[in-house]
Structure 1
Amino acid sequence: MKVFSVIGISKSGKTTTIENIIKELTNRNYSVGSVKEIHYEKFKMDTEGTNTYRHKEAGSQLVTARGIYETDILFQRQLTIDEILSFYHQDFVVLEGVGDKNIPKIITAHTIEEIEERLDEDTFAISGRISNSREDYKGIPVINSKTQLDRLVDLIEEKAKDRLTKKEECKSVTLKIKGKEIAMVPFVENILINIVEGFTQELKGYDPEGDIEICIKR
Structure 2
Amino acid sequence: MRVFSVIGASNSGKTTAIEAIIKELSRRGYSVGSVKEIHYEQFALDKAGTDTYRHRQAGSKLVAARGLYETDFLFGERLTMEKVLKFYDHDFVVLEGVTDFVAPKILCARTEDEIKERMDPTVFALSGLIALHTDQYEGLPAFDPLKDAEKLVDYIEAKVPPVLPNKPKESCGQCGSSCETMLADILNGKKNRSECKVDQGSVKLFIGDEEIKMVPFVKAILTGTVVGFVSNLKGYQKGKEITIKIHPDYR
Partner of 2:196: none
Q: Using the TM superposition, give the Cα deviation of residue 64 of structure 1 relative to its aligned residue in structure 2, in angstroms.
A: 1.1
Partner of 2:171: none
The reply on whether 1:11 has 2:24 as its aligned counterpart is no
Shift in CA distance, 156/214, structure 1 to aligned 2, threshold 3 Å: same
How far apart are the structure 1 equivalents of 2:213 and 2:80?
16
Q: What number of residue pairs does the alignment pair up?
A: 187
Q: Using the TM superposition, give the Cα deviation of residue 161 of structure 1 relative to its aligned residue in structure 2, in angstroms.
A: 2.7
Partner of 1:214: 247
Partner of 1:112: 112
Q: Which runs of 4+ in 1 moved over 4 A?
A: 168-173, 207-212
The reply on whether 1:79 has 2:112 as its aligned counterpart is no
Bigger CA radius of gyration: 2
Partner of 2:31: 31
Partner of 2:130: 130
Counterparts in 2 of 1:44-59, with a 5 A limit?
Answer: 44-59=44-59
Q: Using the TM superposition, give the Cα deviation of residue 215 of structure 1 relative to its aligned residue in structure 2, in angstroms.
A: 5.2
Partner of 2:20: 20
Question: Where do 5+ consecutive residues of structure 2 fail to align?
Answer: 167-198, 215-243
How far apart are the structure 2 equivalents of 1:172 and 1:208?
5
Q: Using the TM superposition, give the Cα deviation of residue 144 of structure 1 relative to its aligned residue in structure 2, in angstroms.
A: 0.8
Partner of 1:184: none
How far apart are the structure 2 equivalents of 1:170 and 1:35?
28
Q: Using the TM superposition, give the Cα deviation of residue 212 of structure 1 relative to its aligned residue in structure 2, in angstroms.
A: 7.2
How far apart are the structure 2 equivalents of 1:66 and 1:150?
36
AA in 2 matched with 1:131: A
Partner of 1:145: 145
Residue identity (%): 51
How far apart are the structure 2 equivalents of 1:61 and 1:131?
44
Task: Calculate the TM-score normalised by the size of structure 1.
Answer: 0.77
The 8 Å contact of residues 102 and 164 in structure 2, kept in 1 or not, is answered as no
Shift in CA distance, 209/99, structure 1 to aligned 2, threshold 3 Å: closer
AA in 2 matched with 1:38: I
How far apart are the structure 2 equivalents of 1:171 and 1:109?
39
Bigger RCO of structures 1 and 2 (CA < 8 A, at least 6 apart): 1
Secondary structure in 1 matching 2:143: coil
The 8 Å contact of residues 124 and 140 in structure 1, kept in 2 or not, is answered as yes
Secondary structure in 1 matching 2:150: helix
AA in 2 matched with 1:40: Y
Q: Using the TM superposition, give the Cα deviation of residue 61 of structure 1 relative to its aligned residue in structure 2, in angstroms.
A: 1.0
